[in-house]
């Protein structure tokens, strides 16, 4: 699969950036997404030299920009092999006080966009009969978390999508090499967890058997393994990477 073209959404920072750097080391060609080209400069500067890459921008909170994003993918990336649907947001609040606007935004970016991206991928993969799609979910989607209920629901939702799509392509295309997966990280050191107060961080750490937050590179290593020739029979699965949280 060396040279295969992979789209990574949210490749400007954190987990998405680490995945981009690792996949560039592995020889994949990349389509890097963020809201603005400028925010991809840091990622691009760290890619393996000589690696092929393109950029694509869209604010996934804006349905019109999502439309444009999907039609740009259709037009310019007919050779796409895989998608890492990673871009995501949090907005932590007690549900009793969470404004409906915030609920809509969480569902738009974390759930509706992966649905539309998967719909696009499914049509594409039904033609190419080869492909890889991974949703980046969260431990919060597995076990829940106070003040993150909508975030958790969106993450549980995308896990169900991957499981269902793996079954769906199996029924629609008898002879294929397409996989839909979920990777479900625990607490990982990124801008997203930097927003937490020291008290909350230390509370979360107490729930982690490995006694630490994970590093973005550890998630990236898992994605590289799932894309490698070592793992063609892992399909539909939700793979947890969370330091032992159960």
List residues near ligand NAP by CB under 6 A: 10, 12-16, 34-35, 39, 59-61, 86-89, 109, 136, 138, 185, 187-188, 190-193
Q: How far apart are CA 237 and CA 235, in angstroms?
A: 5
Note whether 163 and 112 are within 8 A (CB): no
Of 53, 81, 120, 151, which one is the catalytic site residue?
Answer: 151
Nearer to ligand NAP, 193 or 231 (CB): 193
Across the strands, what pairs with 80?
A: 5
Three-class SS state of 179: strand
We find the least distance from the C-beta atom of residue 65 to ligand NAP, in angstroms, to be: 8
Three-class SS state of 135: strand
Nearer to ligand NAP, 4 or 188 (CB): 188
Nearer to ligand NAP, 99 or 232 (CB): 99
We find the least distance from the C-beta atom of residue 2 to ligand NAP, in angstroms, to be: 25
Nearer to ligand NAP, 86 or 159 (CB): 86
Residues 6 or more apart whose CB falls under 8 angstroms from that of 147 comprise: 92, 93, 94
We find the least distance from the C-beta atom of residue 167 to ligand NAP, in angstroms, to be: 23
151 is catalytic: yes
We find the least distance from the C-beta atom of residue 246 to ligand NAP, in angstroms, to be: 16
Q: How far apart are CA 234 and CA 78, in angstroms?
A: 25
Dihedral through CA 46, CA 130, CA 180, CA 34, nearest 10?
30
State the catalytic residues. 151
């Amino acid at each position: 699969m060396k040279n295969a073209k992979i789209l990574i959404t949210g490749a400007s920072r954190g987990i998405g950036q680490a995945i981009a750097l690792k996949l560039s080391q592995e020889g994949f060609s990349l389509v890097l997404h963020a809201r603005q080209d400028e925010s991809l400069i840091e990622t691009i500067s760290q890619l393996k030299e000589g690696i092929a890459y393109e950029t694509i921008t869209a604010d996934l909170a804006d349905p019109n920009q999502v439309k444009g994003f999907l039609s740009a993918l259709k037009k310019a990336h007919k050779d796409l092999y895989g998608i890492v649907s990673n871009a995501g947001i949090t907005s932590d609040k007690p549900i009793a006080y969470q404004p409906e606007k915030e609920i809509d935004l969480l569902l738009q970016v974390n759930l509706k966009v992966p649905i539309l991206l998967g719909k696009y991928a499914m049509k594409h993969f039904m033609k190419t009969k080869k492909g890889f799609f991974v949703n980046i979910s969260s431990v919060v989607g597995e076990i829940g978390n106070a003040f993150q209920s909508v975030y958790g629901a969106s993450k549980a939702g995308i896990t169900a999508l991957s499981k269902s799509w793996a079954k769906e392509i199996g029924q629609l295309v008898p002879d294929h090499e397409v996989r839909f997966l979920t990777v479900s990280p625990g607490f990982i050191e990124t801008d997203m967890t930097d927003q937490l107060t020291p008290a909350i961080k230390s509370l979360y750490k107490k729930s982690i058997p490995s006694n630490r937050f994970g590093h973005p590179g550890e998630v990236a290593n898992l994605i590289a393994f799932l894309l490698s020739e070592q793992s063609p029979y892992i399909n539909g699965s939700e793979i947890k990477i969370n330091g032992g949280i159960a």
